[in-house]
Each structure stands twice: as C-alpha cells, then as structure tokens.
A and B are shown apart, each in its own frame.
Chain A
C-alpha cells in the first residue's frame, strides 16, 4: 500500500514541545479533520468519530459502576442498552457465536442486590463478551470448531469465574479462528466476523469476535486469548485496546489449549482503564494451572491518574525503544508513519525514544510456527470423538477417529496438526522442535537484554491494517508472515499492550493502526500506566470509534 499523506488521518502538527492539553482541544475543531472526513467517508457519515472525538476514551466500566452506585441507571438499564446495540449490530458484524439468554435476568438479580444494599463486585453489571475457547458452564463452548459443536463444559474457565465473581455478566461467546489458529477469524467453522470499521474487511484474529464486539460497543469489554498475537492483532485491526499479559499472569485453566507454552488469556476494552480493571479481576495464581505465577498482583487501576492530574511532561524519565526491524521494508508506510508519529507524541510527553536493533527478530516467526504447531498437534489429540463433541459413524475405532477428525476439524487446524506431528516425529525432532526451542531462548535473551536498556519497546502490531475478507484465505504463508511482530512476545512470555494510534486510508472512514508496547516480565502495571497517559493525551486521530457505532 502506497503511503499518501492525505490519506493518513493525522493532523500535521502534533509536534513536540506543544502543550498537549491545549493542542488536544484545538485539534478537534481543526479543518483538516473535516476535510479528511468528507473526502473519505460517504456523505451521511461525515461526522463519524467526530462527535466522539470531543471526549477522551474513558472507562465505561467505571461509568457503569458509578451509575449503579448513584442509582442513575439500573443494571437492567445498562444491560438493555448493550443488548439492543448487540442485536442491532450483530447482523453486520457477526461477532458472536452464542448470546446469553440469561444476561437480563442476571442484571435483574443484581438490581435486587443493589436494592437490598448488598455489596457488589467491582465489575457488577458490566456486560462482558468471552472468546469461545474459554469454557463457560452455562453456554456452549466450541473454540470455533465443528468438532465441539454444541459442547457445554461442566465448568467455567478460571478467568470467566473470576469475572463472574467480580459481578460481571457474560453476554455471549465470541467468534474466533478455530482453536485460535488464524489471523482473520475467517477460520471459524461457523461464521465470518466483519470489522466494524469496514464490514468488507476482517477484524483480525484469532480473537476477532471479541475485538469486533468491543469496537462495535456490543459489550463493555471482552476476554480473548493470545498465542502469537491473537489479542493484539485484532485489537489493532479493530481500533480497540488489547492486552496480552505476561505468560503465567492469568490462569489458562479452562482455556482450550492451542500451544500451552505460549497461550495467554487477556482482555479487550475501549480504554486502557477498562483493560486495567479487567486484568485486575482475572490476574493471579490459580491452583488449577501449575504454570500460573504466584507473583503478587499489584493494583493496576490505582496508577492510572485522571488526565487533569498529569504534569506537563508526564513521561519524563521513561525510555522507549522503537524496534527497527518492525519498521523496515514490507511494512505499510501508513503503519510506519502512524507508529513514528506515536513515537513523536511520546517524546512530546517528555519520554526518550530510541531505535533499537534486534537482528534476530525475524527468526522468531519460523520458531513460533514449529513450536505452536508441535504443541497444537498434541493438545488437539483429545478431540477424537470418543468422549465429547461430534463423532463420525464408523464400524471400527481407527475410521471413527479418522472420520471424526476429518469432518470435525478445519483446513487450517489440520495443516498445523500435520506440521506439528511432523516436527515432533523421530528423526525430525532435533531439526525442528529442538532447534526452535534454541531459537526461542535466543529471542528471550535478546529481548531481555534490550529491555534492560529501555523501559518499553515499541512496534507496530502487524505490517498492514485490516485487509479484505477472503484476501489471504488461499495464502496461509502470507497470513503467517503477518504475525512477525507479535510472536516474539509470546516466545519470550512478555506482556504487551496495544493502543489505537491512528487511522490509515481505507474503509469508509479510515482503518485503525495499533501501537504495540512491550514491557518487562510481569510489568503490566507500567504498560498500563504509560498506555493510559498516551491514550489520554493522544490527538484525535487516535480515537477509536468505528463508523458502525454511529
């Protein structure tokens, strides 16, 4: 995609040294914005994003809580608002595989509790969507696969249970690439989810349903999972905030395993604060996941100050490292421009931004695909039709296995199972799996070293913005290549936050570009603090309300 300045929704003078407070307000009425809007949006949607742009992203979760506490709205009011919007947009977006029938009922119960002045949880009445690979005991959980059609788990995933304990109401299960294997959500066995910014485009994947649902304001927040970028890339494509926590920060119990050593449960929100509140709720050690960390969970929300309390240089003393290798050839210039502009903005807030080199960065991708496919080939063995899910009819055991899996699993899943089986086979193990593990250690060390020199790393999330539905379905390698910027973070187990940082040309009103911030292990707190400052000070081109919301 050729870079055209006119197409990038970027007012030119976000310049350094300008006081961001004054600038921000002025920008909203700048002529450039209107000009851009009228040129790229169809008439009638000219004001897309404009009215919203008057306000900074703010926590919808906090708002719900305040409203409930002040009795401005009831939980039923809140839920009805969301359910109306959910149903209204669902025909276009198709982000849900299942919508809860009990959400309103649960809201009613909550209102009764509130009426009785009972204590309510931090997420009371908050409508949350959950990726379909997280087990929910009252809703089907298919992982986007035919082989688990109609499967109802007997238990809630730990992250889901914790949300419910915090008072959240699960509104439904979101669409995804089958078992998390894909970057477009087209790999779902059930439906294709559209990007709320342009319904002819993919929302990204594999947590595309969750990202699209949050972007379309069908829910206040959502859970996703990230094995190689499955939270971050759809967050980037859909213009929402997405957090991939440190490996072990959130229990994987109840998450249908794709690649156990890489899988992480994380969350989506329309603001950093919402994501912080969600992480607060789901993080922490879990006895049912031996790989979950026993590290203390700090208060993530506390460090997020209101914008009025920011100093003029709120990022003074913070050092960012822009990963050079993620801004080179093969990355859309509009993406590069958005990231560089974001870096400039960070500098304007007092931060130091340097370019860092990670010469072995590109080694991560093949290593990732070997390891993820290997683990997947093992993790998916349990879907054999013997105990649950779809079973094909057969007279003998082996054909029963074969047919059940042939009919129940999709093409991409089969491809990865075959790759993984091959990589783990005798005679190939050393050349593939073992070598990939060695590369993984190299990547880990490299990132560790560079993160000892800077506080946070910056990069794009993907080389492009959201592409057209069907564009890459026949080209898996090109789809895999799109994961270049995210997989290393999983290999190293580090936390990463994705924030909307601008719009590139495309769609009725532009397409979001996401900024990836990669932090030190278990330092989600710092990522959220920095992300919040960025978000609350970013110029309007960073706003994240898609056309579909209008």
Chain B
C-alpha cells in the first residue's frame, strides 16, 4: 500500500499541470496562485483512488516516478499528509488553505455502464468490444428504414439487479422514450432511453473511504438507474482530433449496446469522494456481473457535474459538466482542477464567468477546457417510444432477481470487520470480487482469517502480479491454501518451510501435504528425536557449551542455529527452544 500511495502522490503533482493551470488562468500572477494551488491539490489528491482490479489499487500502467521529481518540498508534503489524515473533505482544506474563504464543491456523477449481455439492447448483434469496425451491425442498429427495436430482456434483468444492489425502488411499470438529436454516431436520429420513469430510483451506495485518507463510511444517494442504448463511435481522420480532421468515419459496433445510466444525488463534496463513489459503483457492477466496468475501454464512463458554493449556502452554484476522464484518479484530478478554477474565479469577483457548459478533461495537459456551452437546456424532445411496449414487472420477478444477488462489496466489508480484519486489509480484499471469493473459499475450508489475508495480499498477490495472472487462473486452489495454513497452524510445518514450498504449490497446484511429505519437510516435534539432535550438537560444541555455562548466555542463539541446521530446518522451533534451554541449563 505504501508504494501505491507514493505513486499516487507523484502522479497527481506533475509539474506540467501546475504550469498549464497557471497559464490558463490568465491575469493571475503565478506566485499568488501557486502555493494555494499546490497545497490544495496535493492535500486532496494524495489519496487518489485507483482504477483497476489489482488489490493494491496501484497504477499498473504508469511507472512510478521518483519522489524527487515532484516540485513540492518534503516538508510541505509531510505537513499536508498529516493534515489529510485528519481531514475528510476539501471543504476544510479550502477553509484552512484559502485564508478563510469557505467554498465547497457540490458534485454529482452520471455513470454509463455497458452491460455484459451477449447481444445488443434491441437487436441480435454481438455486443462485444474490439471487433473490426462495423462488424457487429445489422439493419436494426444501423437504423435502416422499417427496422424496429426488440428489447433484450437481459437488459431489464441487469437493470433490476443493479437497482436492487443500490437499494432502489424498482418500477413495476416503466417505459422507454426517445431522446432526439442529430449526430452521425446516432443512426436513428434518436437514442432509446428512459426519461420520466426509470427502471430504478431512489437508492444509495455505501462507501468506505481509504484508511490512509482518513477513512470513514459514507452513503451517497442514487437518484435513478435507467436503461438506454449506446451510440456508435466517430473516428476522425486526417488529424488526431476533431479539429483539423479532414473527414470522419463512423463505426456502429457500439451503437445499440445496452447501457445502464446511474445518476447520483449531488452528495459528493470532494474529488476523493467522487472517485471512491465511482470505484464502489465499479465494484458493485463487477460483483453483480452486469458489466466489466472497464474505464479504459469506455465500458464505464463517468460524467461529473460540479458546482461551487460558499459553505453553508443551500443554493447551488452554476453547474459545469466534465467529461472524458478514463480513470478514477483522472476524475479526482479533474474535480480538483475544476474546483480550483471556479473558486479562483469567484475569489476574483468573476463568478459570472462560470457558465453552464460541458468541459473536457485533457489528460495530457491536466486541465479542463470548454467543449460546448449550453444555451439554455438542450431540448431533446423526449416522447414515449412507440415501438416498444411498456416494461411491466411483478414482485415475483423482482424477488427472483433479488434471490440471485451476491454478497455486495459493502456487505462483505461489514462481514470482514466482524472477522477482526483491519479496514486496510478489508478494502484490499474486497476490491476485487475474485480475490474476495478466493479469500472466502479459504476461510470456508477452515483457513485462519489473518493468515489467509496475509498470504493472499502478500505472496500470492506478488506472484499474480509477476505472472500477470488473475486469481481465478491460480493453480493454488483455496482448499490447498487452507491446507497449507492448517499445516502451519498445527505445527506440522514452519512458516519458513511454507514460504519455501509456495512456489511449487503455485506452479504445480499439488496438495500442500503431498509436497511436504514428498520433500520430507514435516516439522520434527518428537521430543526424543529433538533431544537426540540437541545432545549431538552439544557434544560437537563442547567448548561453546562450557562458555555458555560460564555465563555467555548469548551463545543460546548459536545453539539454536546449529540444531536448526542439523534438522534441515524442520525442527519445531518452539519445542526445540524449550528443550535446548533445559539441556543448556541442565
């Protein structure tokens, strides 16, 4: 965890971000801006949450930079870290750092999750990612004349599944609507979505914030969950972005892929909270099996709505939407940047320059830029989709879906708490459902809780990382690990021996006992045998024995080592120690 934290701190404080920010803020003098910016930025960013399923939450795709490259003094950093631990929101950070100007960010998140259905939402095309452009298309998802949508019932099931997992009310009667706008990636000229009656509404998501950021348990409201279809993709040719491109190509593979849009209440106050909310949502989606939640592939996309207001005021400030963040840490940084930008404008009496608009997060430049201004609210001319009947559900169906819900991340965390694990360990173990399932399976086979946690988070995770394997591919099965832990616990083998044979267990998948027996590694716990070994050692080292008995008791370690060596490391250390002392003193 420590190394992961280091990476994060390094990541977010890239000097380029500071520079760009200064440039973009126009008339501000750099010196006036920089300290405050640094402090706040680092303060809340030091605990950026990480995208990805690695239990440690590290940025596997980013090589860590040496701390020395960060342009913040160590002293500054230490001071900030200390503060961070005691702080849980940027509100207070702002309060302390910005000389009494008390602003808070109000953050809501709209998340699009692609569903792991075999086929698209309204046709039979495969819903897979990464095919040749326009390989997965048919008259329906191309919007050819005369084509009609036919709802994939799996979408409803997944909608109900996620709705229940988010403690929402499930609509017994919902419907589809058309959201209308023209764009080349939208073949029909409208998107089939749900407008006024979503499949699920009024729920919440519970999050345990990272311990190193001060921890804490939060509940964020879920406004609604609704079903809709994805649009296609435009590929701009002749340049690497829209501006300057000579023409655009349309790939409709993604058009019609089912999505769930999850709209949160504006309950988040910091970038950290927002990132943790999104990470928890991703975990939930993965636990439920409704989607892979992969942000890099765009299978999960978060749009952030953020406004800034003086703390204590009920009224919201002007809402700005930020798009184009493809990791949780990018989300957090984008929010911190945008918060800072807006506070800065307000502080300078230019609050009216904050306009309702959509801004893009530019990862390379570490800033947000205007994508489009909204002239009033966009009018999508929603109306009920006449090609699809209403979605009518009954309680029986909902209960049947509920019955298949797995233990959810928050439930798992609460259960692990009762097992006496630390929150730090809990967060690591529950981050990935496969890891958690592995852990649970070890416990089921009688493995000791703490030992199982340590083995999984330690040697096994290291092995997986090294081999680029996932835990589900591991040859060392949970029963074998439980067996191994059992052997240590009952004194059959020592922890040292266990570590020694682990590589073989990981490679071969053989049972622990068989390897121990095959290699003759069973721990020697027979008193007579041990006494015989001790006697032989004492005999061979009579001069040292004399010295010991003459008062050089430090030599005890020497004898322990000799006996251990004589036994090939197999002797039960505690028993041997006890017997050795008796003999030495006797």
Contact = CB atoms under 8 A, between A and B. Distances in A.
B150 A378 contact: no
Interface string A73-112: 0000000000000000000000000000000000000000
B146 A384 contact: no
Nearest to A424: B381
B189 A148 contact: no
Contact of A290 (B149, B250, B379): B149
Given A255-B146, A426-B377, A378 B182 contact: no
Interface string A373-392: 01101101111101110000
A375 B386 contact: yes
A258 B283 CA distance: 44
A115 interface: no
A3 interface: no
A287 B150 contact: yes
A401 B189 CA distance: 11
Contacts of B387: 257, 260, 289-291
Interface SS, A side: loop
Given A290-B389, A381-B190, A424-B383, A387 B150 contact: no
Interface in B503-553: none
Interface stretch (B49-57, B87-95, B136-144, B349-357): B136-144
A254 interface: yes
Contacts of B190: 378, 381
- Indicate the size class of the contact surface on chain B: 20 to 34
B146 A135 contact: yes
B145 interface: yes
Contacts of A380: 189
Nearest to B388: A290
Nearest to A248: B389
Contact of B182 (A381, A387, A425): A381
Nearest to B183: A397
Given A378-B190, A382-B188, A256 B148 contact: no
Contact of A426 (B149, B379, B389): B379
A261 interface: yes
A157 to B, nearest CB: 6
Nearest to B184: A386
B180 interface: yes
A253 B383 contact: no
A255 B387 CA distance: 12
Contacts of A255: 146
Contacts of B188: 381-382
B210 interface: no
Nearest to A421: B381
A141 B383 contact: no
A387 B145 contact: no
B383 A157 contact: no
A65 interface: no
Contacts of A180: none
A151 B139 CA distance: 13
B189 A381 contact: yes
A405 B383 CA distance: 22
A310 interface: no
B346 interface: no
A388 B143 CA distance: 10
B147 interface: yes
B145 A261 contact: no
Interface SS, B side: loop
A288 B144 contact: no
A394 B139 CA distance: 26
B187 A387 contact: yes
Contacts of B150: 287-290
A155 B139 contact: yes
Nearest to B151: A290
A148 B145 CA distance: 10
B178 interface: yes
B146 A433 contact: no
Contacts of A387: 142-144, 187, 250
A448 B575 CA distance: 93
A266 interface: no
A337 interface: no
B145 A433 contact: no
B180 A378 contact: yes
Contacts of A287: 150
Contacts of B142: 387
A386 B383 contact: no
Interface residues of A, number: 45
Contacts of B146: 133-135, 153, 157, 252-257
Interface in A345-389: 374-375, 377-378, 380-384, 386-388
Contacts of A507: none
A429 interface: yes
B381 A382 contact: no
A290 B389 CA distance: 7
A429 B148 CA distance: 25
A252 B388 CA distance: 12
Interface in A242-260: 252-257, 259-260
Given A261-B386, A290-B389, A291-B387, A256 B145 contact: yes
A143 interface: yes
Contacts of B151: 290
A484 B139 CA distance: 36
Interface in A216-264: 252-257, 259-261
Nearest to B147: A253
Given A384-B182, A387-B142, A378 B383 contact: yes
A524 B150 CA distance: 26
A154 interface: yes
Contact of A382 (B143, B148, B250): B143
B141 to A, nearest CB: 11
B186 to A, nearest CB: 9
A151 B190 CA distance: 22
Nearest to A398: B182
Which of A148, A254, A381, A429 is most buried by chain B, counting CB atoms within 10 A of its CB?
A381
Interface string A148-185: 10010111010000000000000000000000000000
Nearest to A155: B139
B191 to A, nearest CB: 11
Interface in A116-137: 133-135
A173 B146 CA distance: 16
Interface in A471-504: none
Contacts of A382: 143, 145, 187-189
A451 to B, nearest CB: 23
Contact of B180 (A141, A261, A381): A381
B145 A425 contact: no
Interface string B380-406: 011100111100000000000000000
B147 A388 contact: no
Interface in B160-196: 178, 180, 182, 184, 187-190
A259 B142 CA distance: 20
Contact of A151 (B145, B187, B388): B145
B184 A397 contact: yes
A154 B146 CA distance: 11
Given A387-B187, A421-B381, A290 B145 contact: no
B230 to A, nearest CB: 17
Contacts of A374: 383
A254 B144 CA distance: 9
10 contacts: A135-B145, A153-B144, A153-B145, A256-B145, A256-B146, A289-B150, A375-B386, A378-B189, A386-B184, A401-B182
Interface of B: 139, 142-151, 178, 180, 182, 184, 187-190, 250, 377, 379, 381-383, 386-389
Given A378-B189, A382-B189, 19 more contacts: A134-B146, A148-B145, A153-B146, A252-B148, A254-B146, A255-B146, A256-B146, A257-B387, A289-B148, A374-B383, A377-B381, A378-B180, A378-B383, A381-B180, A381-B190, A382-B145, A397-B184, A424-B383, A433-B383
What 6 pairs between A and B have smallest CB-CB spacing? A381-B189, A260-B386, A261-B386, A424-B381, A254-B146, A256-B145
